[in-house]
Chains A and B, each alone.
Chain A
């Protein structure tokens, strides 16, 4: 696995830039990932999304469904794409330090 310099530390990431050591995640790392995702500087709503994703992941071990994410945070999908041009999976989840969501092609 390649390593990337994030938040001042060497962190293992996969080929898409998702961090492989979720325990090491912190705000500085999130901001550095956000830079690679054209999502920097992070606004208040971006943090709200990231914190929600982070908490959901720590509680349940997976990323939440999109409908739950938009309902619970009150942030609609269009706004999510404005805050994270990569979208909720490629953008927000990556910044929140979640493992790569598996999806169907």
Chain B
């Protein structure tokens, strides 16, 4: 029996989980690049250092992003991954594909690349792993002209907007996430494909405050569906939950973060103090047959979320508590352009919008983009008695 070329990587196949090593090995028989990828990775595990060079600028005509250049630092040893560029492909809203589209992507990628894919990267794009510089343009041409796909964002640009599956499959969606995501993607093509800013900017859209795409933590500008009136209660269904032995008092009412619910044991009615409800979705999640979001729907906009690089991780702050979200989304687009302009004017290289706001102050940011400070923007009233005051104010 011949000895394995990749003894260290092989250990990653022994656990109970799916293994990327097994998947790459499947392709290694057909694609030399997949084999060299494994061999180079084995060396990286041995040397405890990556064998990819830093950087690499490659691309396709008229686009400033969408392709991430990768070069091996040991091309003589691993000639088939000497160049192993990644292509980002803009995913459809909510990641809905026909099998025909998926087959087309895979066929094109087997023709021009390593055949290895990643569905999906954390920004949401389809990731096509590994091709050479000469094959980038013909691969893109076929992806675009034959299969109807476009590249996603990379570098200091608007990254591919992404959204939850929204009204397509979820009764709680308060906005049409799919249409909004598609509309924004088409409206901001220039921002997406031609990097012009201090750093990246991400927009993610969730249909309701459950925030299934974790937009609050993973995007600079989360759009989260919500309602302005009060949630709807079907008392008949509430009584059915109670009759089935569901502990409404402890499972729902006691866990409401703002004590907005009351359970009347005698009359078997659930009462809501609508003004106290913060739309956390807990009660709706626990009693989906009895409780539903309200009818006056729109979205809450937040700002500033990011993962740590320059500074620590930020969760987004509330920026606009409620904005109606109906096509053509003009109010949103006007605001986001103002935010981009402010950030681009004031941001240093590699500074995300949340970091600029932290450095210059939320008060200055709100003033400059023309928004009023609102109670919804703060977590709790502050204990500090000092107030900010500008000298031009009397």
Q: Which residues of A contact B (CB under 8 A)?
A: 15-16, 18, 38, 65-67, 70, 77-78, 81, 85-90, 94, 100-105
Contacts and interface: CB of A to CB of B under 8 A. Distances in A.
A104 B344 contact: no
A70 B345 CA distance: 12
Contacts of B294: none
Nearest to A80: B194
A90 B350 contact: no
A19 B63 CA distance: 22
Contacts of B316: none
5 contacts: A70-B196, A87-B63, A89-B57, A104-B156, A104-B200
Given A65-B349, A77-B196, A101 B62 contact: no
Contacts of B58: 16, 90
A16 B68 CA distance: 12
Nearest to B56: A16
Given A16-B58, A18-B57, A66-B197, 5 more contacts: A65-B349, A81-B194, A87-B59, A104-B199, A104-B350
B198 interface: yes
Nearest to B64: A87
B154 A105 contact: yes
Interface string B45-62: 000000000111111011
B64 A90 contact: yes
Nearest to B70: A105
Interface in B122-157: 133, 154-156
B64 A89 contact: yes
Nearest to B195: A66
Nearest to A82: B62
Q: B62, B68, B86, B349: which has the most chain A beta carbons within 10 Å?
A: B62
Contacts of A16: 56-58, 69, 133
Contacts of A77: 190, 194, 196
B355 to A, nearest CB: 14
B134 to A, nearest CB: 12
B81 to A, nearest CB: 13
Nearest to B55: A102
Nearest to B348: A65
Given A66-B195, A78-B190, A103 B71 contact: no
A42 B131 CA distance: 30
Interface in B188-218: 190, 194-200
Size range of the chain B interface in the assembly:
20 to 34
- Across the A-B interface, give the 3 residue pairs with the lowest CB-CB distance, nearest first: A87-B64, A66-B196, A85-B61
Nearest to A65: B349
Interface in B73-111: 83, 86
**Interface SS of A by simple majority:** loop
B57 A101 contact: yes
Nearest to A102: B55
Contact of B155 (A15, A65, A85, A105): A105
A15 B56 contact: yes
B156 A86 contact: no
A94 B133 CA distance: 16
A69 to B, nearest CB: 9
Contacts of A102: 54-55
B59 A105 contact: no
B62 A81 contact: yes
A78 B177 CA distance: 30
B127 to A, nearest CB: 11
Contact of B64 (A81, A100, A105): A81
A81 B59 CA distance: 13
Contacts of A15: 56, 71, 83
Nearest to A69: B196
Contacts of B133: 16
Contacts of B155: 103-105
Nearest to A18: B57
Interface string B247-261: 000000000000000
Q: A18, A94, A100: which has the most chain B beta carbons within 10 Å?
A: A100
Contacts of A38: 61
Contacts of B86: 105
Contacts of A18: 57
Interface in B360-394: none
Nearest to A89: B57
A103 B55 contact: yes
A103 B63 CA distance: 15
Nearest to B154: A105
A48 to B, nearest CB: 18
Q: B55, B64, B83, B86: which has the most chain A beta carbons within 10 Å?
A: B64
